[in-house]
């Protein structure tokens, strides 16, 4: 198993996070921002992003995982849902990567049922080629090709999440 060279370095990641935070800070001026991280993968991106956002906000989480990733009928299991009442909140869902879109679509629909004041999505990585379900992304860090990547919260078998950069991962050389 090989972790390749960084495709996004620490510096590139931090630069892009600052840019996203600037856009979000402008758009959420005077609003009631609730940042909702989709765990586990989004923990690192969320913690960097919220520290760079300059408007007041609250934070909550959803813990979810998808199964049968190769199938179009992927099933999403939610282990933990938001504790906040979202009715008066401008919710921003924060995701590390959108692949098939199944996880995000499921969480988005579930959140919409709770009737937040508004709902937007910020995803750090967008692997567009793999999309099965169309999900509207309002803020995107980087588009990436169809390669398996790890680091900055993203895992292979729950490992490599702690790498501060993003790298391509291959099971064999």
Catalytic residues: 99
Minimum distance of ligand PRP from residue 167's CB (angstroms): 16
Interface residue list for ligand PRP (CB under 6 A)? 38, 40-41, 65-66, 69, 95-104, 155
Minimum distance of ligand PRP from residue 76's CB (angstroms): 7
For residue 159, give the DSSP letter: B
Q: Which is nearer to ligand PRP, 72 or 113 (CB)?
A: 72
* Strand segments (E) across 15-131: 33-39, 57-67, 75-80, 90-98, 118-126
Question: Using CA atoms in the order 132, 138, 142, 144, what is the torsion angle rounded to 10 degrees?
Answer: 10
Minimum distance of ligand PRP from residue 31's CB (angstroms): 25
CB 69 within 8 A of CB 77: no
Helix H, strand E, coil C: the string for 103-157 is HHHHHHHHHHHCCCCEEEEEEEEECHHHCCCCCCCCEEEEECCCCCEEECCECEC
Q: Which is nearer to ligand PRP, 87 or 158 (CB)?
A: 158
Minimum distance of ligand PRP from residue 161's CB (angstroms): 8
Q: Which is nearer to ligand PRP, 86 or 100 (CB)?
A: 100
Bridge partners of 98, per DSSP, are 126
Q: Which is nearer to ligand PRP, 31 or 128 (CB)?
A: 128
């Amino acid at each position: 198993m090989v972790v390749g060279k960084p495709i996004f370095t620490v510096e590139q990641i931090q630069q892009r996070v600052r840019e996203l935070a600037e856009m979000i800070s402008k758009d959420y001026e005077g609003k009631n921002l609730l940042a909702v991280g989709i765990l586990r993968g989004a923990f690192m991106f969320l913690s960097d992003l919220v520290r760079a956002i300059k408007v007041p906000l609250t934070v909550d989480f959803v813990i979810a995982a998808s199964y049968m990733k190769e199938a179009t009928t992927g099933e999403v299991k939610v282990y933990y849902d938001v504790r906040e009442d979202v009715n008066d909140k401008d919710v921003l869902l924060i995701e590390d990567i959108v692949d098939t879109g199944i996880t995000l679509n499921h969480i988005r629909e579930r959140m919409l049922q709770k009737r937040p004041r508004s709902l937007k999505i910020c995803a750090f990585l967008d692997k567009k080629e793999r999309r099965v379900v169309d999900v509207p992304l309002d803020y995107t860090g980087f588009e990436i090709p169809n390669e398996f990547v790890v680091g900055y919260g993203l895992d292979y078998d729950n490992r490599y999440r702690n790498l501060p950069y993003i790298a391509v991962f291959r099971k064999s050389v």
